[in-house]
Amino acid sequence: VGLLYDTGHCAFSGGDPEQLLRRHVERVVHVHCKDVRPAMLKKAREADMSFMGAVMEGIFTVPGDGAIDYPTLLKILADHGYSGWLVVEAEQDPAKAHPLTYATMGYR
């Protein structure tokens, strides 16, 4: 069974994105690159916030704007021959995070 590996969802749920990827890299068929803001992650956990509540408060952002170590994750994928899609996403409230600004950041 193939695995859609989502870095942000892994971190939000309390997982370790690097550990999960190392364990299941051979099963990865699709990757969602989404970062987490550490202060918001702490707040969401302490308040037992719902997933949607945390999203609307800004838990997620584009890669490089949060706490996930993307260079390491991308190296693991490359070392294992991953050649599928890398979807850069953020799941942010567009009223709080200008979409073009964050799309540009994610691209970079």
Statement: residue 94 has pLDDT above 90: no
Distances 32 to 3, 20, 53, 75, 86 between C-alpha atoms, Å: 11, 14, 20, 15, 6
CA quadruple 26, 30, 34, 38: dihedral positive or negative? negative
Q: What is the pLDDT of residues 16-56, one digit of tens each?
A: 999 999 999 999 999 999 999 999 999 999 999 999 999 99
Q: Which domains does the chain have, with CATH numbers?
A: 3-107 (3.20.20.150)
pTM: 0.89
Running DSSP on this structure, what letter comes out for residue 83? Answer: -
- 97 exposed, middle or buried (CB, 10 Å; 0-12, 13-18, 19+)? middle
Percent of all residues in the chain with a pLDDT value above 70, rounded to a whole number: 100
65 sits in which H/E element: none
